Structure 1
Amino acid sequence: MEIAWIGTGIMGAPMALRLLRVGHRVRVFNRTPEKARALANDGAIVAADAAAAVAGAEVVFIMVSDTPDVEAVVTKAEPALKAGQLVIDMSTISPRAERALAARLKRLGVDYLDAPVSGGDVGAKEGTLTIMAGGEENAFERARPLFEHLGRRATYMGASGAGQMTKLANQIAVALALEAASEAIRFAQAGGLEPSRVLEAIGAGAAGSWQLANLGPKIIAGDYRPGFFIKLIRKDLRLVADAARESKVALPGLAMMASMFNSAAALGHDLDGTQAVAAVLDRLADVK
């Protein structure tokens, strides 16, 4: 297929690469050109701008950071879009914005899915992401063969915006599970236990989680290299807070985790992985 991929960052680049490696023709564009050019050796065609990337593509993927970024991509690409194309936004942004974008492109005869993902950079590289899609079901079925190269599971969640709402629910669970893992490790270390053995012991039982298994060893090693940036989880939790206010839902755990991640950013960890939230526990322990 002729595919356009806009956004070749820590998640987008390996996802686009997976589509290249199964034989699709992929045109890529990124605001930082060097990130797009890095895929040229793998056969990607580097486009000069978003409009050039999407022109003639059967499917257009967007994987950028935030709501204004997606809106800007759509605005720049819109003059080149034609009826019958499918646009799939795999970023994590506002559900309300996704509904507006879907309605806007529908007037052009362009199908639109919001299909955010979970699984981090490892999932992007290995094709094991979890994909949560909102939009028209026939558009989801059209995208399904491509999703199968990107993720282990793709689930149709309902109308436009439903994919993003599901992803935001995911982020609540992720943030709180990460805090639980961080506190358990710090508690074990303070009690004189070997933390890696604690992970082995409790990870096989009811305390087990993806965060404990995958980020626990990094917390123990002080390895804060990013698989998913602190700055991005902070953005995601702001989106959750906005949606919760609209729905009049109380989320006390969300408020705590927003504070923890904001503190991590204040300590200089905004461009580190989410596991750097563990550094905040060290600072809190020093408070007299």
Structure 2
Amino acid sequence: MRIALLGTGILGHSIAERLLHTYDSLYVYNRSRSKAEDLLSLGATLCNTPAEAIAAADALFLVLTDAKTTKTVLASAEEKTLFEKKTFFQLGTISPMEAEELNAYITQKGGVFIELPVLGSKNEAKNGSLLLMFGANEEQYHKWHDFLSSLGKVFFVAEPKKAAVLKLALNQLIISSMVGFSLSFAMVIKENIDPKLFMNILRASALYCSTYDKKLPRLVKKDYELANFTLDLLLKDLKLCLEETERLSIESAPLEISRTIIEQALKRGYGQKDYSALFEAIFSPKP
């Protein structure tokens, strides 16, 4: 089976590394070619256009910034026959409506669309411990389960729309947990309480989340470089969550507050930094 991957950002690049570790070859396309050139040494074949990658593969991973970018990239491969009998795995975080639109677009061209959002970032992708939400029918799930298991644990969700919503629900927890931890940690620091004491109590409680320990060194050192997930992308996902809460008639006030905090951090230049940089807007709010 020939495999291609479109989009070598933080997550896409790491998935490409994992695929090249597991399989002999991989066709890769990225709009900025320089961000994918290091994969050549691992055995990847770089494609100059999306059409070239699509033509070369039977199964394709779409790991692009958003649905608009994904549509643009796919639309550049104009020949309908390029899509026939090919399977497209959509891994980016998009809205349920966008998932349905991409499903219709690819299906109309003779391809198979599988909404496959993942939980985890570059480290989980590299070591094959992503959590994958499989949004397609049971027949497709059984067909692709073993293949996808090289990337992590695969959960059957059934519908593209539901897989997209599930991913947004989980990403909302990323937002709320980071905002909540940042607020508590700021209180501890400003009152000159020993952070180790705080963390020891937190770890021993039902309140604990492993993300807190993962982000703690960044907050202590104020080091937000080498992002696993940027603040810009977190805001993009938050906006998708807001759209979904409106569609489902769910109270969105907590998300609106988080949006204000994140936008304050963005104004300070943290957009391309790790999303834990939102701590700066909480610790030192500007009037």
Instruction: Give the TM interval when normalised to the shorter protein.
Output: over 0.9
For residues 72-151 of structure 1, the aligned pairs below 5 Å read: 72-77=72-77, 79=79, 81-151=82-152
Mark the CA change 1:172 to 1:82 in structure 2 (over 3 Å): closer, same or farther.
closer
- Specify the alignment match of 2:199 in structure 1: 199
TM-score, normalised to structure 2, is 0.94
1:149 is paired with a residue whose SS is coil
1:78 Cα deviation (Å)? 5.3
Q: Which amino acid aligns with 2:137?
A: E
What whole-Å deviation, never above 9, does each CA across 1:187-246 have from its counterpart, x for those lacking one? Answer: 121222221442233123212113212112221221212110000010001111112222
Q: What is the aligned residue count?
A: 285
| Distance in 1 between residues matched to 2:99 and 2:125, nearest whole Å | 22
Mark the CA change 1:137 to 1:73 in structure 2 (over 3 Å): closer, same or farther.
farther
For residues 256-271 of structure 1, the aligned pairs below 5 Å read: 256-271=257-272
CA contact (8 A) 1:182 1:278 kept: yes
- Specify the alignment match of 1:281 in structure 2: 282
Mark the CA change 1:196 to 1:72 in structure 2 (over 3 Å): closer, same or farther.
farther
- State the percentage of identical aligned residues: 24
Deviates more, 1:233-242 or 1:102-111: 102-111
What whole-Å deviation, never above 9, does each CA across 1:116-160 have from its counterpart, x for those lacking one? Answer: 112122222222222122122322333322321222x22121212
- Specify the alignment match of 2:158 in structure 1: 158
Root-mean-square deviation over aligned CA pairs: 1.6
TM-score, normalised to structure 1, is 0.93
| Distance in 2 between residues matched to 1:229 and 1:131, nearest whole Å | 20
Q: Which amino acid aligns with 1:90?
A: L
* Residues 1:60 and 2:57 aligned together: no
- Specify the alignment match of 1:18 in structure 2: 18
- The answer for unaligned runs of 5 or more in structure 2 is none
| Distance in 1 between residues matched to 2:78 and 2:145, nearest whole Å | 24
2:251 is paired with a residue whose SS is coil
Mark the CA change 1:38 to 1:84 in structure 2 (over 3 Å): closer, same or farther.
same
Q: Which amino acid aligns with 2:233?
A: L
Q: Which amino acid aligns with 1:150?
A: L
Q: Which amino acid aligns with 1:179?
A: V
Mark the CA change 1:38 to 1:194 in structure 2 (over 3 Å): closer, same or farther.
same
